[in-house]
Amino acid sequence: MKKAIVIKITGQVQGVGFRWSAKNKADDLKIFGYAKNEPGGRVLIEVEGETTAVDKFVDWCKNGPDSAQVEQLDIENTEPKGHRSFEIVLN
């Protein structure tokens, strides 16, 4: 079963390697999408793949890398876009 979501992560999540760590985790789980920094200090991640893998990724996002301090996760379901890799969007 496939699942696609958008995750907005709030806290100390920029400048701590969150996007790069998210890419490594997504690659490990074989899920696809992208991560980018947003104005105001949030990280936005769009991800799609097998439901169990996406759920594991969400669990990882609740803490992120050791240097991050996640305060809030906002998750919305979305339609799969057909991503074929996980990319880091550089602003």
What residues are labeled active site? 19, 37
What is the bridge-based pairing of β-strands 32-37 and 86-89? parallel
CA dist 83 and 60 (Å) reads 20
Any residues with CB less than 8 A from the CB of 60 and at least 6 apart, and which? Answer: 22, 25
